[in-house]
Amino acid sequence: MGVIYLDEDGKSVVNQDECVECFTCYRVLRNEGYKPWFVKVLRKGLSLLRLGYLAEVDVCPTGALTPPELKWPRNLRAQFSDPSTVHPGTGVPGRGTDEIKTNDVTGRLRKGDAGLVVEIGRPGIGAYFRDIEKIAMELAKLKPHFEKENPVTQLMVDPESGKMRDDILNEKVLSAIIEMKIRQERVHEFFHALEKIQKEVDTVISVGIASRCLPDGTLPHEEWVRKAGYALSPNGKTNIGLGRPLFKEE
Amino acid sequence: MTNTLHRQGTPESLKHDYVIFAHTAKGITREGSASKLREFMRICLKYHPENIGESKQGNILQDDIDIHRLISNLSDGAVASAVFTDLDTLQKVIEELIRANLGISINISGLLDEVQTCCRKAGLTRHSGEHSLGFWGARDRLPEREILE
DSSP A204: E
> Can you tell me the distance from the alpha carbon of B88 to that of B98, in angstroms, rounded to the nearest whole number?
15
pLDDT of residue B142: 85
Q: How confident is the model at residue B1 (pLDDT cuts 50, 70, 90)?
A: low
Please judge whether A208 and B11 are an interchain contact, meaning their C-beta atoms are less than 8 angstroms apart.
Answer: no
> Can you tell me the distance from the alpha carbon of A147 to that of B89, in angstroms, rounded to the nearest whole number?
36
Q: What predicted TM-score, i.e. pTM, was given to this entire model?
A: 0.91
Read off the amino acid at residue A166.
Answer: D
Global ipTM: 0.95
The candidate with the shortest Cα–Cα distance to B129, out of B149, B148, B115, is B115
> Can you tell me the distance from the alpha carbon of B76 to that of B30, in angstroms, rounded to the nearest whole number?
6
User: Is the pLDDT at A33 greater than 70, yes or no?
Assistant: yes
User: Is the pLDDT at A196 greater than 70, yes or no?
Assistant: yes
Please judge whether A238 and B105 are an interchain contact, meaning their C-beta atoms are less than 8 angstroms apart.
Answer: no
Contacts of A229 in chain B (CB under 8 A): none
CA angle, B58 then B60 then B61, to 5°: 100
Do residues A214 and A241 lie in contact, with contact meaning Cβ atoms separated by under 8 Å? Answer: no
Q: A117, A237, A244, A248: best mutation site toward chain B, by most B Cβ within 10 Å?
A: A237
From the CA of A47, how many Å to the nearest CA of chain B?
A: 36
CATH fold of the domain at B4-124+135-148? Alpha-Beta Plaits (3.30.70)
* pLDDT one-digit tens code per residue, A53-95: 777 778 888 888 888 899 999 999 999 998 777 777 776 666 6
Per domain, the residue ranges of chain B are 4-124+135-148
Contacts of B53 in chain A (CB under 8 A): none
